[in-house]
Amino acid sequence: MKDNRFKVVIAEPNDGMDDTFQVLIDRGYEVVVGPPVSCADQGYSEEELIELCKDADAFFGMSRETITSRVIENCPDLRVICKYGTGVNNIDLAAASRQGVIVANAPVHNLTVAEYAIASMLALLKKIPYNMAHLRNGGWRDPSTTNHEIYGKTVGILGFGRIGKQVARRLAGWDVHLVTYDPIITREDAALFGAELVSWEELFSRSDIVTVHLPLMESTMGIIGKKEFEMMKETALLVNDARGALINQEDLIDALTNKKIAGAAIDVFVTEGLAPDYPLLHMDNVILTPHTAGYAEEGLRRIAVQATANCLAALEGEVPEFVANRDVIPKWKERFAKK
């Protein structure tokens, strides 16, 4: 029989940030902590997650834990799933809502990802990785090292949520023209951040740089593909720090191999961890990084602090600040909220 203490499972904490959940231990909760996120081979099967969380009240996870309906249905005490970060596409939100479980994310590293997106744009334009490799290989300045300015370019921000707005805010004063596509904002919303709201087709055809900040859901899987690459300028650059599955991978490889676009900076992939023969690894006009856009120490700490705050609120019978499945709130209140 379960005692009256809350049980909290933290599947993979951020390295060196145990202090961010110390408050849970101080309150006498049973806190089960798994290996840190830096353990590359860390991961849990569905059965392991069920065993780990079968009597848990709260669960903390990142993107590697796939929280299926079966996991949720076999954890009857679960009242909150706390996601380290923004994306919740690895969690069955519908199942959580059916079971009365809040999914609380921590979208507080917007500026971290926005800075990375801009750094990626500049690294592509200035050919920084290429020029460094060129120098290491004994080369020096030559026509191949000629780079470009961002001044005067049109930057297309695909998705104008928290991160897209931060990109726009940080590019203010750079003398670029900002265009954006987002079906749920108005022209007035975009104009507040110095951006012009345009159609999907116009964003791809006009932009010198397209930076992707869309959420991943069923309707956006593979939403960028051959049609979009054919609309883009041959001199255009693509930056994706959102989710790998937003882009059709075969079409992306084709566009870069056949110079339909000039280059890309990709931080996210359909499958995390790349095989040595992955084609984009061997292209001079591509920058690949290992899902590190949101991995700044300051941003990670904000995420960890927010995730703990979400957990504490839920365990105390309060609706957390950030809830990804807001439809669950009435049912959740019936089960857990303070009377």
- Residues catalogued as catalytic: 243, 272, 291
d(CA 244, CA 152): 29
Tokens of 128: 């920084």
Alpha-carbon distance 139 to 133, whole Å?
9
Count CB neighbours of 112 within 10 A. Answer: 22
List, as one string, the DSSP characters of 217-260.
SGGGTT-BSHHHHHHS-TT-EEEE-S-GGGB-HHHHHHHHHTTS
For 257-295, letters b (16+ CB in 10 Å) and e give eeebbbbbbbbbbeeeeeeeeebbeeeebbbbbebebbb
Tell me the three state secondary structure of residue 329.
Answer: helix
Q: Strands, DSSP E only, in the chain?
A: 7-10, 30-33, 58-61, 80-83, 102-104, 154-158, 177-181, 195-197, 209-212, 237-240, 263-266, 286-288
Q: Which residues contact 259 (CB under 8 A, 6 or more apart)?
A: 234
Q: Which residues contact 212 (CB under 8 A, 6 or more apart)?
A: 158, 159, 224, 238, 239, 240, 241, 242, 246, 247
Establish how many alpha carbons lie within 13 A of residue 27's alpha carbon, considering only the half-sphere containing its beta carbon. Answer: 16
